[in-house]
Amino acid sequence: MKLLAIDTSNETCSAALLVDQGVVQELTLAPRRHGELILGMMQRLLEQAGLELRTLDALAFGCGPGSFTGIRIATSVIQGAAFGAELPVVPVSTLAAMAQGQFRREGQRRLLTALDARMDEVYWGCYEIGARDLAELCCAEQVCAPDRVTRPTGDGWQGVGPGWGVHGEVLTERLGPALSGTNPDGVCEAQDIALLAAAELTAGRWVPAEQALPVYLRDRVTQAPA
């Protein structure tokens, strides 16, 4: 399998090329420069592997939630590339990819992913790493006040994501003894999107370019005036 994945949903910008079981990633911290950098990152990965876009099996991207501008950039880039090369697309939740990344780094299998949604809310996801070592959703992703997030059953849950840096005190109180620790520095990366997307593609879960759409979890993107 040959699959190219990108993510521009946070302050980092990343692209990853999966060929069979190997993944190569390029990642840089680039606030507000995603649109300037991402196409070059994709092209370098392909050139280094001696591949052309049209020879891939699929494209994948972090479809959200996250930075609204960043998600739109990734959506636009992937749609354009997929149309031109006639490739299927696998949209991947950024919350799922964050959970997958924490498992890759530290081996924790119960993950609570959180992103700051502003307006005193948090994007929230509960994931467990399954038998295939892939993140599996335990309950529906949500956007809500941090003191109203879904509490998972059992204990040994690891918090991951910048939302823990912003709302950590409230989330910790909400989770109580179920929480074993937190990593507020964990972010979505393209290499983790690629792994999850490969499994989805194998299962036949993909969309054509025109259906590769962002997932905001909520439509209201600006604070209403008082």
pLDDT 10s per residue in the chain (226 long)?
A: 999 999 999 999 999 999 998 999 999 999 999 999 999 999 999 999 999 999 999 999 999 999 999 999 999 999 999 999 999 999 999 999 999 999 999 999 999 999 999 999 999 999 999 999 999 999 999 999 999 999 999 999 999 999 999 999 999 999 999 999 999 999 999 999 999 999 999 999 999 999 999 999 875 433 333 3
| Domain-located, residue 219 | no
Same domain as 193, residue 81: yes
- Start-to-end Cα distance in the chain: 52
Q: How far apart are CA 226 and CA 209, in angstroms?
A: 40
Would you state the structure tokens that stand for residue 71, as one six-digit string?
Answer: 């998600």
Same domain as 84, residue 10: yes
| Domain-located, residue 217 | no
Other CB atoms within a 10 A radius of the CB of residue 37 amount to 16
Q: How far apart are CA 63 and CA 214, in angstroms?
A: 5
Same domain as 195, residue 88: yes
Other CB atoms within a 10 A radius of the CB of residue 221 amount to 11
Residues 6 or more apart whose Cβ sits within 8 Å of residue 76: none
Taking CA atoms, 116 is separated from 107, 123, 143, 162, 167, in Å, by 24, 6, 9, 7, 8
Would you state the structure tokens that stand for residue 153, as one six-digit string?
Answer: 């059953």
Same domain as 112, residue 71: no
Same domain as 104, residue 147: yes
Instruction: Identify the CATH number of the domain in which residue 163 sits.
Output: 3.30.420.40
| Domain-located, residue 50 | yes
- Mapped onto helix, strand or coil, the DSSP state of residue 62 is strand
Domain with 30 in it: 2-93+188-211
